[in-house]
Amino acid sequence: MAEDNTYESMLCVKPEVHVYRIPPRATNRGYRAADWKLDEPAWSGRMKITAKGKIAYIKLEDKNTGELFAQAPVDQYPGSIVEAVTDSSRYFVIRIEDGNVLKGRHAFIGLGFADRGDSFDFNVALQDHFKWVKQEGELAKMEATQSAAPKLDLSFKEGQTIKISIGNIKKKEAGGAKPRPMGGGLLPPPPGVKAGGVIPPPGGQQMAPAAPTNAAALLDFGSSVPAAQPSSDLWGDFTSAGSNSSKDAVASGWVQFS
């Protein structure tokens, strides 16, 4: 794209700046604003910084009419087009060009700002523009590198097909039928035991049935002692125990306690 068709943007505007004639630089140490006649500026007016593509333009214009006094195309900052002085932050040396009749003519002038904040804005506007220029250049190099690299062609050629094999999925065969829990969440009895039965003790030992208790056997102390004959009157002994005769008490087998 031609530079003339590029959109021109505004970067900075300062309503009052001063231009000074500067003596030739005698040494390489840099310019000093103290060597200028700061109380006698050669010109005063408005300053604009515009950008067109990668180039920034410092334009000095008349405050009232807007007529262009001088301009300085800047292609790099910091650089030889704009240079700060060594003894102040409010003054710079810029190289202006004559773009009216004789192109290619240039001169160095001193540029000063009445306020330190204005000089700070001037500096930042140029720095931000060329920072953007640098980022655009790196992005363009990256895109050029990617476009130059061979691209992997993954498209199908004419008549090319693709075959996908999907194996049969077999269902798991049911193993043994799992025993269902009995009512109430209880597990079924082990094999060999009927439901409701008693689980036998380990080792195959059988429990002997309990022998019935024979009351007569408990009372049988031997054949030498005759078994007592039950009395027809269960309360007779109590009656005889209450008699006054001690002989009767001995005969009846009861002892009277006094």
| Residue 71: CATH number of its domain | 2.30.29.30
Q: Is residue 222 part of a domain?
A: no
Report the number of distinct structural domains present in the chain: 1
Instruction: State pLDDT tens for residues 150-170.
Output: 666 677 777 777 777 776 655
pLDDT in tens, 82-139: 999 999 999 999 999 875 544 567 899 999 998 999 999 999 999 999 999 999 888 8
Q: Which of 19, 83, 79 is nearest to 55 (CA)?
A: 79
Q: 199 lies in a domain?
A: no
215/84: higher pLDDT: 84
Which pLDDT score is estimated for 70?
92
Task: Determine, yes or no, domain membership for 208.
Answer: no
Residue 154 vs residue 253, higher pLDDT: 154
Angle (CA) 38 42 47, round 5°:
95
39 lies in some domain = yes
170 located within any domain: no
Let me know: does 21 contact 42? Beta carbons within 8 Å: yes
- Cβ atoms of 33 and 110 closer than 8 Å: yes
| pLDDT at position 224 over 60 | no
Amino acid, single-letter form, for residue 181: P
SS3 215: helix
Residue 56 β-bridge partners: 51, 74
Residue 186 lies in a domain: no
Range of 15's domain?
A: 3-145
Report whether pLDDT(26) > 80.
no
pLDDT of residue 52: 93
Whether 54 and 9 have beta carbons less than 8 Å apart is answered as no
Residue % of the chain over a pLDDT of 90: 40
Q: Give percent above pLDDT 70 in the chain.
A: 57
Burial (Cβ within 10 Å: 0-12, 13-18, ≥19) of residue 36 = buried
Helix residue ranges, H only, 12-167: 116-148
> Which one-letter amino acid corresponds to residue 233?
D
Mean pLDDT in the chain? 74
Structure tokens at 133: 């220029």
CB under 8 Å to 54, separation ≥6 — which residues?
A: 75, 133, 136
- pLDDT(48) > 60: yes
pLDDT given for residue 249 in this prediction: 47
Question: What pLDDT score does 118 carry?
Answer: 95
Q: Evaluate whether residue 59 is within a structural domain.
A: yes
Residue 190: inside a domain, yes or no? no
